[in-house]
Structure 1
Amino acid sequence: MSEKNTHILIVDDDKDIINSLNPFLERCGFECESASNGALALKRIQVTPPDLIVCDVIMPEMDGREFLRQMRTAKLTIPVIMLTQVGTTYEKILTLEEGADDYINKPFDPMELVARIKSVLRRSRLYQPSLTNAWMISAGDLIVNRQRREAYYQGELLHLTRRAFILLEYLVTHPDEVLSRERLLEIVWGWENVVDTRAVDSRIVELRKALKDQTGEPRYIETIPQQGYRFIHPVKISG
């Protein structure tokens, strides 16, 4: 499916966002329509299901998280990217656990949103149901149980720090994507915490040690010079 055949629904009560984002995405080749709140969006997707939804979190009548919960409760697996101004790591992780495929903070670079859209669409076409909606994911000898917040390697429970588990979870749900240190820092720590990207490197070292992964010949986590990290082992939904 090319961008020309890709239908995107933008859900946001901010008219300025709608008026700027719709034509921009259309210039990028996508087909777009919009809804001003979650209740209207639910009605819209029952008539014409889009290929992907870009949804704000804070809206009147029905906010983005309630819209997402009702979608997933109804077993609708349409990929969703959340637009959020919520700064805490807890809120971001909760949004992902509730079934969002990705999120991007406002204000955002429209080209970054396009990159996220293409990435989420690629994953959604490779994995059904989507990895972000799977409770258990395996990659060779590694099993990540997202519901119990546990990871196992070769049948043994890994004693990971909380941040290392969050990092591992994000890596396995975004396989074969180059993830910058800045993006991982935002996911795991949030910008409200004053830490630098070396904190990401430290947790990567923790994961590599737990997975017996070698930097020179990685099986799981590859370092991409000047860019970040990539989870390279094939993954599958288990259980």
Structure 2
Amino acid sequence: MARKILLVEDEDAIRKFVKINLEREGYQVFEAGSGEDGIDLAKKEHPEIVVLDIMLPGIDGFEVCRILRQEFPDLGIIMLTAKAEDLDKIMGLQFGSDDYMTKPFNPTELSLRIKSLERRLDAKNTKVPQASVINHPPFELDTYARKFYYQSKEVELTPTEYIIMKLFMENPGKALKREEILTRVWGNEYLGDSKIVDVNIRRLRSKIEQNPAKPRFIETVWGMGYRWFIAEDEQ
């Protein structure tokens, strides 16, 4: 069955062009010209991926992203922006998107970004044959159920956040370069920059750190990347 993609874009020409190209790739595409219509279609059709413009009439893309992320934690979201400023990109990621692209863009690049996101969705949602739990008190990662717990309470993670946490917990105490995280999570063919790693780390810290400004668990390795803290009695 073709994977469902919801395209939320208010410019008719862009929306039709993107839809034609995605349908050629074999996707089932639903389209909406406003944020409100996009939310309604998402609830009706349950797409796996949403391609979402920021500048929309009525509810803007940031708010749509926030609503969809709360309603559908496992949804893949790629945001489109007509601006090149980092602020829009960072805001989109902070609201829960998995990736972003700046317009105008090459449809081939969008297709590659979607395929990269598909792999992350599959990595999170495909269950392994046997149960496997990684324990780093007060955290627990159940790789069979694809669930993450902090102090025995489930923490909702996006597909991208889940893969990052799995990478960290499989490599406790190891300093991971940004480029290594980017490759392991987004894939070798990812065409964006490494800032997407930093924003996802910031978002993870907001979910698991008591004081994200002074992180205890996800440590910054200055000039390099990040390290997952492991207590001495666990080593």
Sort the TM-score into its range (normalised by shorter chain). 0.5 to 0.7
Q: Deviation per CA, 1:90-123, whole angstroms, max 9, x where unpaired?
A: 3312211221111111000000000111110110
Per the alignment, residue 49 of structure 1 pairs with 46
Query: Match for residue 26 of structure 2?
Result: 29
Please tell me whether residue 94 in structure 1 is matched to residue 124 in structure 2: no
Identical aligned residues as a percent:
28
Q: Which runs of 4+ in 1 moved over 4 A?
A: 133-136, 167-170, 185-189
Task: State the superposition RMSD in angstroms.
Answer: 3.4
CA contact (8 A) 2:73 2:158 kept: no
Picking from 170, 185, 190, the partner of 1:175 is 185
1:84 Cα deviation from its structure 2 partner: 1.0
1:1-239 correspondence to structure 2 within 5 Å: 5-128=2-125, 129-134=157-162, 137=165, 138-142=168-172, 153=173, 167=178, 171=182, 175=185, 177-178=187-188, 183-184=192-193, 206-207=223-224
> Structure 1 residues 206, 21: CA separation in 2 closer, same or farther (over 3 Å shift)?
same
Alpha-carbon distance in 1 for matches of 2:50, 2:122:
15
CA separation in 1, counterparts of 2:51 and 2:76? 9
What is the deviation of 1:88?
A: 2.3
Contact 1:123 1:130 (8 Å CA) reproduced: no
Q: Give TM-score, length-normalised by structure 2.
A: 0.62
- TM-score, length-scaled by structure 1: 0.61
Contact persistence 2:116–2:186 (CA under 8 A)? no
Q: Structure 1 residues 93, 6: closer, same or farther in 2, change over 3 A?
A: same
Counterparts in 2 of 1:14 and 1:170: CA distance versus 1, 3 Å: farther
Number of matched pairs: 172
Alpha-carbon distance between aligned partners in 2 of 1:8 and 1:136, rounded to the nearest angstrom: 24
SS class of match (2:224): helix
Give the unaligned 5+ runs of structure 2.
126-156, 199-220, 228-235
Give the drift of 1:131.
Answer: 3.6
Distance 1:188 1:80 in 2: 16
Q: 2:187 is matched by which residue type in structure 1?
A: E
C-alpha separation in 1, matches of 2:186 and 2:4: 24
Q: Which amino acid aligns with 1:206?
A: G
Evaluate the alpha carbon distance shift between residue 120 and residue 188 of structure 1 in structure 2; reply closer, same or farther with a 3 A threshold: closer
Residues 9-58 of structure 1: CA deviation (Å, up to 9, x unaligned): 11000001112111111112111120011111111111111121111010
CA separation of 1:141 and 1:134: change in aligned 2, threshold 3 A: closer
Distance 1:135 1:66, change over 3 A: farther
Q: What is the letter of the counterpart of residue 171 of structure 1?
A: L
Give the Cα–Cα distance (whole angstroms) in 1 for the partners of residues 65 and 71 of structure 2. 10
